[in-house]
Amino acid sequence: MGEIEFLEQVEKAAEFLRESKPERVRIVSHLDADGITSAAILIRVMNRLNKLYNISVVQSVTPELLDLVNSDCSDFVVFSDLGSGCISKIKEKIKDKRVIVLDHHVPEKENEPNAQGKRVMSINPHFFGIDGNSDISGSGVAYLFANAVSRKNRDLAHIAVIGAIGDMQENFGFSGTNRRILKHALESGKLEERRGIRLFGSHSRPIHKLLEYSTEPYIPGITGSESNAIQLLGRIGINPKKGTNDWKRLFDLSDEEARALASAIIMLRTRSGASNAESIIGPLYEIKDEKPGSPLKDAREFATLLNACGRLGLSSYGIGACLNEAKLKKKSIETLNSYRKEIIKGLKWVKKSAEDKQHIIKGENYMIINAQENIMPTMIGTIASILAKSNEIPENTFILSLAHLPENGKIKCSLRYCGNNDVDLKEVIDYIVAQVEGESGGHKNAAGAFIPLEKEKQFIESAMSALSMFGYEEKITN
């Protein structure tokens, strides 16, 4: 089976919705950028179908959530960007409603997709040999469903592209079914693709700050130093100032200046021995109707903004930004500043804890950060991801971070990996959680779990043993 069969199953899901003729729909989606874009797509679909709906944006599917969904006034439920890992619980808890699960995570059981006409229908690319880690995101599945409901929904494809980028599925272009969705987005006129310098913040940051804060790619001698960034611009004949009181941004540069900057960065990276020194040049994806300078112009920045809204419990702002609601777009941009402050606060706490040798356990190939209540549970994975890409953690290091949810009696755990080895983090977290009570999920490159608060000590001990074992296996393999 492949993409053709997958698209046929998506068409069946659209027919499943039409046949059900629901009066009120409950949408349940994940709180990250991929989940928020999924929710935005489904909301637009329901609006165009004149369906009443309620929306819940959550961190995970819990028994309490399923009880709530089962008892509310909806007669149809759509899960997006989550749900595949707990289909059996959904079937058990939601008894009298029809359900569609639109997800790209590894499903609970690797079996054939549920047949049309059953009460619960699961649409998942993994059933058809399509890699949900790289070839399609949750918002991509939601978009294909929307497109199957009506071809008028093709104007939503750009939202799915933003979601895929937020889910780290863009790597100098797209692969698999994501390419089909990108084609729809470009044809709709909502998205533009061009080649240029791939530095994060090209629209929202002054050019010298863009260079100073660049970690992907890392610019030797420039990253982390504002003065060196300004000196570099001066050496290649670029005045960083725009007029008297303003600073130039990347889009303000002439073609000649942009080429000079790219050449200078490539030269610095080549001298430092970077194997992919020219990787700063590649495809850029921009929202056509957004003005230059807006943090919503570049799709990567847009995805970061959505992640900020979700992590801070303000997902409605992100959904509104996706649907071009002016007031909510403004609020979402304001939220990005709060998000950055939370990240800085979290990173400072980790640094101080490492210096004080508290809350952090370091092994030969792992680092366990037990933030307890010092970092927001919704932010702990973001902090781990930043650390994994910071150039301050040794290569081939697992980063396991924990944060307490005392009101739920649980701990949120996130697992990341520093390096390029072919490590399946979901397999690792599944193994650790199997040693204690808990629920795990995620992807090959980013995985997580929820465990009971009282199991913290046992979980950490199991993690230390397991991470050492997986690290040893990687050494043997390589």
Q: Which amino acid is at 319?
A: I
Closest CA to 234 of 257, 267, 259: 257
The residue ranking higher by pLDDT, 301 or 392, is 301
Residue 32 sits in the same domain as residue 121 = yes
Q: Are residues 94 and 47 in the same domain?
A: yes
Cα dihedral sign for 463, 311, 124, 114? positive
Residue 122 placed within a domain: yes
Same domain? For 77 and 207 the reply is no
Give the separation between CA 189 and CA 229, rounded to whole angstroms: 36
Cis? peptide before 377, omega within 30° of 0: no
Rg (CA), the chain: 23
441 token code pair:
């999920």
Give me the pLDDT at residue 116, please: 44
Which residue, of 285, 310, 341, is where some domain finishes?
341
Structural domain count of the chain: 3
Q: Quick: pLDDT tens for 447-461.
A: 999 999 999 999 999
Strands (E), 434-478: 439-442, 447-452
Round to the nearest angstrom and report the end-to-end CA distance of the chain: 32
Q: Which of 303, 202, 302, 203 is CA-nearest to residue 262?
A: 202
| Angle made by CA atoms 149, 193, 309, in degrees to the nearest 5 | 65
Mean pLDDT to the nearest integer, 241-259: 93
Model confidence band, residue 275 (pLDDT cutoffs 50, 70, 90): confident
pLDDT for 111 beyond 80: no
Q: What is the DSSP annotation of 283-349?
A: EEEEETTSPTT-TTTBHHHHHHHHHHHHHTT-HHHHHHHHTT-HHHHHHHHHHHHHHHHHHHHHHHH
**What pLDDT score does 443 carry?**
85
Pull the structure tokens for residue 197.
């310098």
DSSP-assigned letter for residue 129 = T
Q: Are residues 165 and 18 in the same domain?
A: yes
| Separation CA 361–CA 375 (nearest Å) | 17
Do 126 and 13 have their domain in common?
yes
Query: Which domain, by its residues, includes 377?
Result: 359-477
Q: Count CB neighbours of 246 within 10 A.
A: 10
**Mean pLDDT, rounded, for 277-305:** 95
Asked if 236 and 316 sit in the same domain, the reply is yes
Which long-range CB contacts under 8 A does 169-174 form with residues at least 24 apart? Answer: 169/133, 169/134, 169/135, 169/136, 169/137, 170/285, 170/300, 171/134, 172/279, 172/282, 172/283, 173/282, 173/283
Q: Is residue 349 part of a domain?
A: no
Identify whether residues 54 and 128 lie together within a single domain.
yes
- Residue 245 clears pLDDT 80, i.e. is over it: yes
Verdict on whether the full-model pTM lies above 0.85: yes
Residue 353 resides in a domain: no
Identify the pLDDT of residue 243.
86
Within-domain flag for 311 = yes
Domain end residue (candidates: 289, 313, 341): 341
Task: Pick the most confident of 154-163, 197-206, 403-412, 421-430.
Answer: 154-163
Question: Cα(438)–Cα(471) distance, rounded to whole angstroms?
Answer: 23
**Residues 295-312, mean pLDDT to the nearest whole number:** 96
Q: Kindly report the CATH number assigned to the domain that includes residue 447.
A: 3.10.310.40
Residues 111, 77 share a domain: yes
Q: Determine the Cα–Cα distance for residues 192 and 346; give it in Å rounded to an integer.
A: 35
Residues 434 and 461 in one domain: yes
Is 167 found in the same domain as 239? no
The amino acid occupying position 415 is: L
Residue 404 CB partners (closer than 8 Å, separation 6+): 371, 372, 373, 377, 410, 411, 412, 453
The reply to whether 194 falls in a domain is: no
Q: What is the mean pLDDT of residues 420-429?
A: 86
Same-domain check for residues 218 and 164: no
pLDDT of residue 426: 92
Quick check: is 193 in a domain? Answer: no
pLDDT tens-place string over residues 317-370: 999 999 999 999 999 999 988 998 999 899 999 999 999 999 999 999 999 999
Q: What would the mean pLDDT of 122-148 be, rounded to a whole number?
A: 97
43: CATH: 3.90.1640.30
Residue 458 vs residues 159, 358, 432: alpha-carbon distances, Å: 42, 18, 10
Tokens of 24: 């009120």
Which strands, in side-by-side order, build the sheet including 120-123? Answer: 52-58, 24-30, 76-80, 98-102, 120-123
Same domain, 230 and 293: yes
Q: What is the mean pLDDT of the chain?
A: 93
Environment class of 404 (CB within 10 Å of its CB; exposed 0-12, middle 13-18, buried 19+): buried
